[in-house]
Amino acid sequence: MFLRELNEKHEIENADFLVDGAPWLQARLHELGMHFWHESFGERNPVE
């Protein structure tokens, strides 16, 4: 739903998505043929 709404409001065909530890999102982006890469930044603040 998020990607559909994002695509309706913006041109995301050529967008690159930065994904941090969300395998479900990586799988969906791959299914849709979207460009993405995985980047982990180590320990995160629990408030985030």
Residue ranges of the chain whose pLDDT lies below 50? none
> Does 30 fall in a domain?
yes
Nearest alpha-carbon partner for 3 in 17, 23, 48: 17
pLDDT value at residue 48: 60
pLDDT value at residue 17: 85
Q: Which domain holds residue 24?
A: 16-43
Amino acid at the residue 27: A
pLDDT value at residue 4: 80
Domain count, the chain: 1
> Does 5 fall in a domain?
no
> Does 6 fall in a domain?
no
**How far from 25 is each of 3, 31, 34, CA to CA, in Å?**
10, 10, 11
